[in-house]
Every structure is written in C-alpha cells, then in structure tokens.
Structure 1
Amino acid sequence: MSKKKDIFGDDIEESKDFASFEELFAQSEKGLDRKLRVGDEVRGEILSIGKEEAFVSTGTPVDGLILTKDLLDENKEVKYKVGDVIDCVVTAFKNGEIRLSKRGSKNATTDSLEDAFDMELPVEGRVTETCNGGFRVSVQGKTAFCPISQIDLKFATDANEYVGKKFEFLITQMDKRNMVVSRRRLLELQRAENEGTFMLKHQPGALLDGKIVRIERFGAFVELEAGIEGLIHVSELGWSRIHDPHEVVSIGQSVTVKLLKTEELDGKLKISLSLKQADGEGNPWLQVPQKFPVGTVVKGKVEKKEVYGLFVNIAPGVTGLLPKSKWRDSVDASQFENKKRGDEVTVQVDQILFEEKKISLGLPGEVEDTSWKQHTAANSGFGSLGDAFKNLNIKPK
C-alpha cells in the first residue's frame, strides 16, 4: 500500500477506496478532453427519458440527445429504462447539442442528408409517383429517385402498390442535383443482421414454426421470421415419394419444420428444413422388419412404372420394387403390363435390405401341395408296394 504525507509531513496509508476514486476521477478527466465527431459510436447510460427526447451519457462533458421514438419497440412502447446502457451513433452537432441515434435502429434520423449519405444511415421517404425506370421519393422535402429494382427484395410486379407509402431508404448516390435511394439495400442489410441472429439462436435439430410462402417444383419455401426463409426440399415433404409439392402443402399454410442445417453460400444464408422429420411418428422404415417380415402378403398401390418393373407403395413412406422378371411369365402378365400409377396390386415381401431402405417384392406364391405325403395304406386300402409283393409270394426282381 502506497504512502502519502499528511499536512504535518507524517506518513499516512492510502486506502483502496481512495485509490479507486482517484483512478475513476483520472478517467473522467480524460473524458473531458475527448472530442466526438459525426459517425462516432458511443456506448452510454440513459440518464432520462422524456415524451419526445431522452438523454444519454457520452463520456464527455456534454450529454447526448436521442429521440424517444428511437427507443420504442414494435409495439410502440419504450423498451428501455433510466440506467440502461445502449449503443448509439453521433449523427449531428446542433446548437451545442450532441445528436444521437440508436445504432442499427430503423428510426434513426439525421439533420443532414449529407451525414446520412456519408454514414449510410437510413432516412424516411414517401413514394410520390412512378416514373420511367422507377419511383420518385420525397425525402426531407427533396425529391429522390429509386430504381424499380431497388424498391424491394422481390421484383415489383405492380409498381402502383408502393405509391403513397412511407419506407426507410439508404442514400446510394448524392450530388448537388441528384439523389438516388435504395430500399432494397437497407432490407438486405437488415436481413443479414436478422440471419446472423437466427444462426446464433437456432441450432440444427430445432423444431420451428413457419408459413409456406412459395412453392416450386423442387420444394416449398417457408417464412420462419421476418425476412428469413428456408427451403423444404421435395424429398423432405413426406416419407412417401412426392411428385408435386402441391400434394402436401399450400401457400399460406402454417407448418412445423425441423431445422436440418444452415450454411452460407455466395454471401447468402441457405436454410434447409424438413417437414417429414418434424412428424412425431418418425421414420416408417424403422417398423418395416416387424410390420412386413419376409413372406408377408400385402396390398399396395403402383407408385411408378419402369421398364424393369413396378414400384409399389405398401405403406406411407415404404415403397418396394416388383421386378418385371417376377410377373413376366405369370398368367396375369398382361394385367401387370397394363398397370399404371395408383392401381392396386397384391404383392409378397421377398427380401428386405434394411440399411439400404430397399424391399424386393414378388407375387404371392401358391401353397405347395403336400397331401401326397399323407397318402398311406390306411386310407387307400393298400400297403406299400413291397407288402403287395409279399402277399403274392412274388419276389420282385
């Protein structure tokens, strides 16, 4: 512990609390010399929250002013309280005040369009009308141009649906005469942020709720969160073979899916989902050995016809192959030749390759006639051929 002199020149011990106070005081003095600039990031404590404005400490002698609407949640309620620490960005200096906006906030505003352009901060604009190649947008009393390709993440099939509405934009080009804005760029940044949060929040194997928003021949797209979509490949829609996703799902349908994996490809997040694996009944193949042992005769439906045979579905998610060689020489060969998808057929389980998830089918075999083995002298009136020779005293040569 360090020593200090009192007013009489005697040594005194310095307490730990005093040392801590001195260190904090020294740090606060350093903060007095700190100079902020537009664009600087500030982490500060909320000092007060008013109806229109709130104040946040900046680490300088001057506290920062932030609009209260920048602290609202999606329900338009203040989601912070005095004492909370938030991350902000310096947007402007005006009348000796430090103007702040919450970092990443969609409500962030600036007093200068030049500052918004330099710092890539969103600005609010209203689409006033369509024009050649895009839209005219009113931003803080000035007219900007938004190309039609930059108004949304998806292609704008009906341009008029955007007219008269307010959106957040990023200023992508600005000079003395022209200003170009993009809503798509802002949506992409927000989606990237949401995707990062999604990957941290959900791990493969998780069950998620979503809504079918688009159907393609190769599968169905599910909206899991705002701006977050995943794909259910057609092979993951059901345990049975699916020929058209419309057979299983429809647009607007609510579904529970299993998250298979997330990966980033070409800068985009790819989310793979499964509808069938989210089903509590599980994989029907696990029940095959017990439910369909070799020799079982069962009725199924033709699922697919090939030159080498028929694929027959014998249970949901369980399909076997009836090779052409099994019925080519039968009396019903012509009937099998004319079978088509959906037709019923009676088959017999001949072989199960469990690990490969394959079943070989055949035609139900006729019961072997063994009645000849029961034919004896007792029920025929004659003994054996040898006995007959004995009775006649004739020895067979």
Structure 2
Amino acid sequence: MTTEDILNEENNEEVNNQTEGDTEVDENTEVNSSSGYNVGDKVSGTVYKVEDKFIRAHLDGSEYEGIVPISQLTNQRIEHPNEVVSEDDTIEGVVIKVEEEEGRHNVILSVRKLEETKSYDTLEEAAKNDETITGTVMDVVQAGLVVDVGVRGFIPASLLSDEYVEDLEQFAGQTVQVKVEDIDKEKNRVILNRKRIIEEDKKQDRQKQLSNLEKGSVIDGEVVRITNFGAFINLGDVDGLAHISELSYTRVEKVEDAVNIGDKVKVKVLDVNPENERVSLSVKQAGTSPFDDFAKENSVGDTLEGTVKRLVDFGAFVEVAPGVEGLVHVSEISHDHVAVPSDVLKVEESVQVKILSINEDSEKISLSIKETTERQPESKDEPKVYNDETEDDRPTLGDVFGDRFKNLDL
C-alpha cells in the first residue's frame, strides 16, 4: 500500500444514504431549486434522532429534514453514530443532495466535508506559517502513521523521528505534534512531519546547555564515538571532542588505548563555541596533573634517571616521571658536537639527566645529559711531525740539473 493509497482510502468510498429505503447519495444530482437548498450550501440543525446508520436533524428555519449518513459524520472510523453525536446536539454540514420526491422532503448533509474544508484551510495556514499542530494516531501501517488532524494525514516512517524507529505500534492512539510537510486538497493528500519538531527541540536543548557550559569547569560525560584523532564525549544534550593529546598525560598512540565507547569519564571544558555547537574537552586535565607532583618533589639542579621517548631534530624528549617529559636540547646532549640526536641516542634508552629549569605555568622542563658527565681534558703535547728523510737521501745539484752543464763552454 502506497502513501497515496493510505491517504485516499477513506475519501474514495461512496456515500450511502440508508434511510427507510436504500438511497445512494449522488453529489452531482441536479437540485430542485424550489427547495431553496443547493449542493454546497452550509446549513445547521438540531439532531432529533440517532439511527444505526444515520442521524436525523431539524434544519434551522426550514420544514426540510436533514439526514447525515454515518460515513458523512466524521473522518474517523465508527461503528455507530452515537459515538460522535447525540440527540439535541447542534450540527453544521454542507448539502450534498436534495430529495423532493413525493413523500420525501430531505436534505442529505455531510458534516465531514464541512469539517474537512475548515481543516484544510487551517492546515494550509499552518503550512504557510510553519506552525506546529496536534493530531491523533488513527492507524499504524508499515510505511508510517495515519493521523487525524481534522482530515486524514500521513507521517512517513522517515519523517517520524531523527532516529530509526523500529516499533511503530508504540504510537497507536497517541497524540503527536507535527508540522505540515505537504498538502494537496484536490487529492485529499496531507503529509506530516514529526522529525523536524524533534530536531528543533534538540537544537534548543543544545543551545541551552552550550550557554550554560563554563570554560574551565569539570563535568561528567560518556564516550559515545571514537576516531583516530580523538573521542567524542556526550555531556547530555551536546557532544564534545577530546583530542587524542588531551586523553592522558602519557603519550597515546591509539585512542582505544586510553578510552572506549561507553566509558564514564570526567572532563574539563577547554572551549565552547555555541555558534558552531563545538565543545573542546580534556580528560587528562580533569584530574591531577603529574607535573604538579613532580614540581613539588624536584628542583633545578637535581639529577634523575630518565627514558628517551622521542627524538626530534632539535633534541630528545625524556620521561622523568610517569606522564612527565622534559626536553634535552641537542646542545645539551654531549660536550662534543652532535649534529643529529639519533646519532648518539635511541628511543627507550635510559639516561641520566640534570634539571636545568622548571616552568610551572607552561609545564615545561629543560634537561641536560652533558651536565651529568665531565668534559674530557684536551692533550697539552705539541703535535709531532715525522720525517723519514736522511742527509744521504737528499738530492745533489747533479741530481737536480743532470746533464745540463755538459754542453757549457767554461
């Protein structure tokens, strides 16, 4: 069954007038003008009798009787007219047929069509102004929900929520808030949207929480998504990102080494951008920094055992306590010239380091390896020059000039 079939199912049924005889309601029947009533006229009256398949009413200011078949009472599915109307009730309807045969002076009315006309006007106005309206779920089908909004409207499953809804039956008989997504009065077609309301409500909730988040505050969260660059942590109505560098004071190679989906964690709010709905978080800063403990227990000039963790062109990062690293500048590695740190150091190598400075504001430590070793003294002896030649080996003038003197006339 398609969406259009569902919407048109009730509206395509034939109108039957079951009075004393079975009379078919034909809206195209020519009207006897002597009655004073024409098809399409709006009339009102008072119900004086409720039958099994129709009701009878005295029409205001007329000797004619108004008859409303059960199918024209409401767009809801009812078994008996007394489900929606009682004797002495005042009704309004639109004329769909006039009977002036001998012994019959009846006006066939449709309360449903008049209500639908009013409902369509209301729905068109709601669609124009993007208003939220309320409806009651009349039927649950595989493709979505049939909803009474004055006329039969339909919510496709894809427009029911911002999340996948597996059990549609949970909405049976419920009152729901919707917006008019599309309306075609000629085809009796009304498409409704509940998803947009949910999205708008959640956006308002997010903005409210974003405005209440304070930079520097520590709050509870839950890890809901992991990427290669960090973890997304749900704070209630908004998610924040903790970059991989903010997950732990120790170096984290993979996010999964520090946190997993479902973990409950405390986080520190680093930054809030309500306009872009972005929140920057830190897991490591929500706890005590190991740097603080290190700074209390150690001083400039202390010599410590450390482990080389990273080698870069300008030096080596050495771990001197769990989660605490300091930098040995390339010029502080050795008394001898070092072109590249990797020429003399290896990752995970244990080294002795001396603390040169501790900056508590930036949490940076400067270290030196060469300050833990003594410079090798330079040799004071003059350099020796070795000469293997002896006087006997030196060339004579004859050796140099050879036979050049033989032809001289002296």
Return the TM-score normalized by structure 2: 0.48
Point out which structure has higher relative CO (alpha carbons under 8 A, 6+ apart). Answer: 2
Whose radius of gyration is greater, 1 or 2?
2
Return the TM-score normalized by structure 1: 0.49
